[in-house]
Amino acid sequence: MANGIHILSRYYDEVLQHPDVSSVDAVSAAMQEMWQPVVFTSLTTAAGFLSFLTASILPIRYFGIFTAIGVLAAMVFSITLFSALLSLLPVKVSRGLRAQMGRSGDLAATGWAARTLSRLGVGVARKPLVVWGVTTSVMLVCLLGAQRIFVDTSFIKMSDPNSPVRIADTILGETFQGHLPLYIALEGHQPDLLKDPVLLTRLDRLQTVVEQDPIVGGSLSLAEYIKRMNRVMNEDRLEMEAGTDVNYQNDYNWTALMFAAFNGHTAIVQLLLDAGANVDLQDNHSSTRGETALMKAEIKGHTDIAQLLRAHGATR
């Protein structure tokens, strides 16, 4: 659109200055003068939109790519198709253009906007230092203001604070750890590495650091589940959730491995064994004194767990 306007302006200028010129010659004269401005303007505009490729948001990248392609396509159409169609049309100038040419001697507009811009151009040419000073001041203000820009891509935060959507989002954030989950997958380079107590401890520390960020509503991991199981298997005592000792014994010397073996939780037994649970520890309850995890599994008839414990060195 913009390219076509400049080409047409130069085309009509040529027609008014040379009334007997043919359409082909007028287009040729216009394009000889205007092809460079059209090309360079389009290239710089496309380059500006291609700078969106540095954005971290994928839709903005696509917007930059397709807009740049559209600008370059418009440049090609302006130089080729538009010029070809213009050369096929008969030379015709409107009465308004002829009247304007007769009043001012050129194609310059004679309205208030043109007069204002003309005076502004004269002032800029006469006082370039003033223009440079004003421009520098504006740039400094923009640089200072850029430091205060806060980028937030949440469309919910743009809604009214009293809207149902905003209220529901607040409730989800405060009660259910938010509505936008972020999954982080950890891959070990060795078999069962994620069952290593050292790694689980580090994972628990990572959760603690992440949850200090105000935008994080909460976090869950394998370490979190193990801590919770340790607490439940120890009379639901809160202090047990903070520990990661798989061999911790309660007041009756029961361990997490004993509870899991007694209740038939094969997967938990395997997890505790992989984490280094001691299979030889004994309880001191009045009715079950001296029993190990293997003995409890055999008493309850959990033969698969008994075999698993023997495979890890349990003998009684």
Q: What residue type is assigned to position 190 of the chain?
A: Q
Does residue 184 surpass a pLDDT of 90? no
Extents of the domains making up the chain: 2-108, 193-311
Identify the architecture of domain 193-311 in CATH: Alpha Horseshoe (1.25)
- Say what the pLDDT of residue 235 is: 67
Q: Are 171 and 165 in contact (CB under 8 A)?
A: no
Q: What is the pLDDT averaged over residues 253-272?
A: 86
Angle at alpha carbon of residue 103, lines to 97 and 107, rounded to 5°: 45
Integer CA distances (angstroms), 264 to 244, 248, 293, 294, 301, in order? 22, 19, 11, 11, 9
Q: What is the end-to-end Cα distance of the chain in Å, rounded?
A: 89
Q: 143: pLDDT confidence band, cut at 50, 70 and 90?
A: very high
Q: What is the pLDDT averaged over residues 272-284?
A: 85
Residue with tokens 């919910």: 156
What is the C-alpha separation between 303 and 185, in angstroms, rounded?
A: 35
Does residue 50 surpass a pLDDT of 90? yes
- Specify the higher pLDDT residue, 259 or 218: 259
Q: What is the pLDDT averaged over residues 294-315?
A: 90
Does residue 66 surpass a pLDDT of 90? yes
Q: 286: pLDDT confidence band, cut at 50, 70 and 90?
A: low
Does residue 135 surpass a pLDDT of 70? yes
- Say what the pLDDT of residue 101 is: 55
- Specify the higher pLDDT residue, 251 or 7: 7
- Say what the pLDDT of residue 1 is: 65
Integer CA distances (angstroms), 55 to 10, 207, 253, 273, in order? 39, 29, 59, 48
DSSP 79: I
Does residue 80 surpass a pLDDT of 60? yes
Angle at alpha carbon of residue 91, lines to 88 and 97, rounded to 5°: 135
- Specify the higher pLDDT residue, 119 or 246: 119
Q: What is the pLDDT averaged over residues 14-29?
A: 82
Q: What is the pLDDT averaged over residues 86-95?
A: 76
Does residue 239 surpass a pLDDT of 60? no
Q: Which long-range contacts (CB under 8 A, 24 or more apart) does 269-275 make?
A: 269/293, 269/305, 269/308, 269/309, 270/308, 271/195, 271/226, 272/246, 273/308, 273/309, 273/312, 274/192, 274/195, 275/195, 275/196, 275/197, 275/200, 275/226, 275/246
Q: What percent of the chain has pLDDT over 90?
A: 16
Looking at every residue in the chain, the average pLDDT score rounds to: 81
Q: 110: pLDDT confidence band, cut at 50, 70 and 90?
A: low
- Specify the higher pLDDT residue, 59 or 193: 59
- Say what the pLDDT of residue 103 is: 54
Total residues belonging to the chain: 316
Q: 136: pLDDT confidence band, cut at 50, 70 and 90?
A: very high
This prediction has a pTM of: 0.41
